[in-house]
Structure 1
Amino acid sequence: VAHEINNPLNFIYSNLCLADEYTQELLGLIHLYQQTYTNSTPEITAQTEAIDLEFLESDLPKLVKSMRVGAERICQIVQLLRNFSHLDEAQLKLADIHEGIDSTLLLLQHRLKAKPGRPAIEVMKEYNNLPQVECYSSQLNQVFMNILANAIDAIEEEHKKSGIRKDCTEGNGQVIEELCRCSIHNTPHRNPKLWICTEVKEGDRIIIRIADNGSGMTEDIQRRLFDPFFTT
């Protein structure tokens, strides 16, 4: 997918550079005409007012610039997808574990941001010095994606239970918002957090720990966690 997006994107981005150059040249030519021919015809004056030329002259460069910014953002996302999937790297290869985790977090950034009724999820990293690890990096990144996405789901579920927003009306008719604290823990809202810790163990092994302060699993689900085909 990243490869298919990248080809037309490069075409668009390279042409935007030319579009910016052509825009400046055309605007310069218009200014030259205005300076040379100060007495315009009624038709030109009417058309100038109809298209609001002054606004176009100021807005068109901004429009092209915003398109370039958008194209650059797409380029960043494509590169991120390539890093995440390790395109053309289906075999065992040495990989940077921290780079894989960080790429996954960037892909999930939209879910970490604050939402109505839930503050932003804080990601706390405790990265130790890790050697590169021989692994199937794209598959490992998918594991990170599944675990982190499940952690975010658990955090959001916890906030649904412990912080349901509702409208309450006082005697004077003024509507206020009350945060209901009815979680299974009977505790106030906790700031949502994700912890990611890495360390080397026994020389040739590494440990990756991922934790959250979401709702967690019930004992029944924990007992069946490794049952074949079991899912929640």
Structure 2
Amino acid sequence: MSLTNPSEEQLNATDILELVQQEKTATLSHLVSSVVHEINNPLGCIAGNITYIKDYVKDLLNLIELYQEHYPDPVSEIADEIDAIDLEYLTEDVPKLLSAMENGAERLHQISNALRTFGRFESDRQVLFNIHDGIDSVLLMLKSRFKGTKIRSPIEVIKNYGDIPEINCYPGHFNQALSYLINYSVNALDEKAKAQPSNPEFKPTITIKTSLTSDSVILSIQDNSLGIPENDQNTIFEALLITKPVEQGTGIGLSVSRQIIEERHQGTIKCQSVLGIGTEFIIELPRSSDS
């Protein structure tokens, strides 16, 4: 006869889900912090030196131009080398390459900041947080999902941010809830594209809005997917409800999002959907006492 731990025996599905989520959150927090740290060291070196390199190259190109102006007829050996390296093309292309490198470094800097914002998993206390920063970081992390595929054109993300205050929040968990909701919208848009492969007028769109009431901050995530049947709208946030095909994962993201919003942040989340029109997730979060 095998012995069973009574504490495990008493755990229900929601308790197990929460424990798994806490462990995953802690692991992801450490991973993100490590990645950001490793990125920032070489990135700081590149970003800190590229300005100097641009100035040095500019000076060298100016010097070459002066030589060409004052010595228009170089010896044959130099003339041959100018032809061999295609000096005219080189002087035009090098500044472009340096600008591209500078843009790449800035892009990495944005990703690093987004990772740091996305990965803020303060488990023991709430902090004041600008949820617009959280939304932007999530959108940047999910950017590859918005690209066009074989079945649909690129997803247009429309941001309509209102003038809202910072809120007391667990930023990392809140960002995680957002990522699940936005991922759900992307999957729903993919499903519509599969269902309507011959509809050239379908332009997949996700619209994110924020606004303010007297006591709440409102966040809306709306897509133009096929929509959700009314009966499913009432159960879509239930724990362990499978919301997508097996090959796409467990589909518990919406349940985790509800837990994060309602249980961890004392907010509310609801789903509004019209078949053939799309789905909207509406989140209400309490304003902080000093806002």
Question: TM-score, structure 1 length as denominator?
Answer: 0.71
Query: 2: distance between equivalents of 1:191 and 1:38?
Result: 58
Match of 1:107 among 137, 141, 164: 141
* Larger displacement relative to structure 2 (13-22 or 109-118): 109-118
One-letter amino acid of the structure 2 residue matched with residue 213 of structure 1: N
Indicate if the aligned counterparts of 2:151 and 2:190 stay in contact, CA closer than 8 A: no
**CA RMSD for the aligned pairs?**
3.4
* Larger displacement relative to structure 2 (20-29 or 83-92): 83-92
Give the Å deviation of 1:162: 1.0
Asked if residue 192 in structure 1 is aligned to residue 198 in structure 2, the reply is no
Match of 1:50 among 66, 69, 84: 84
Give the Å deviation of 1:115: 4.7
Q: What secondary structure is seen at the aligned counterpart in 2 of 1:118?
A: coil
Query: 2: distance between equivalents of 1:200 and 1:59?
Result: 50
Match of 2:225 among 193, 214, 224: 214
Give the Å deviation of 1:158: 0.9
Query: 2: distance between equivalents of 1:3 and 1:35?
Result: 49
* Larger displacement relative to structure 2 (52-61 or 88-97): 88-97
Larger radius of gyration: 1
- In structure 2, the residue matched to 1:171 is none
Cα distance, 1:206–1:37 mapped onto 2, change above 3 Å = closer
- In structure 2, the residue matched to 1:144 is 178
Give the Å deviation of 1:93: 0.4
Indicate if the aligned counterparts of 2:129 and 2:169 stay in contact, CA closer than 8 A: yes
One-letter amino acid of the structure 1 residue matched with residue 167 of structure 2: V
* Larger displacement relative to structure 2 (152-161 or 126-135): 126-135
Indicate if the aligned counterparts of 1:162 and 1:189 stay in contact, CA closer than 8 A: no
Indicate if the aligned counterparts of 1:159 and 1:189 stay in contact, CA closer than 8 A: no
- In structure 1, the residue matched to 2:65 is 31
1:90-130, CA deviations, whole angstroms, 9 ceiling, x for partnerless residues?
Answer: 74201122332233234334433555553443445565554
Query: 2: distance between equivalents of 1:128 and 1:36?
Result: 60
Give the Å deviation of 1:151: 0.7
Residues 67-106 of structure 1 aligned to structure 2 (within 5 Å):
67-86=101-120, 91-106=125-140
Query: 1: distance between equivalents of 2:142 and 2:81?
Result: 49
Task: Give the count of matched residue pairs.
Answer: 209
Cα distance, 1:58–1:90 mapped onto 2, change above 3 Å = farther
Give the Å deviation of 1:14: 1.9
Cα distance, 1:191–1:61 mapped onto 2, change above 3 Å = closer
Give the Å deviation of 1:147: 0.9
* Larger displacement relative to structure 2 (61-70 or 137-146): 61-70
Query: 2: distance between equivalents of 1:31 and 1:124?
Result: 47
Query: 1: distance between equivalents of 2:45 and 2:37?
Result: 13
Q: What secondary structure is seen at the aligned counterpart in 1 of 2:152?
A: coil
Indicate if the aligned counterparts of 2:147 and 2:155 stay in contact, CA closer than 8 A: yes
One-letter amino acid of the structure 2 residue matched with residue 210 of structure 1: I
Q: Percent of aligned pairs with the same residue? A: 37
Query: 2: distance between equivalents of 1:88 and 1:227?
Result: 24
Indicate if the aligned counterparts of 1:193 and 1:212 stay in contact, CA closer than 8 A: yes
One-letter amino acid of the structure 2 residue matched with residue 226 of structure 1: E
- In structure 1, the residue matched to 2:28 is none
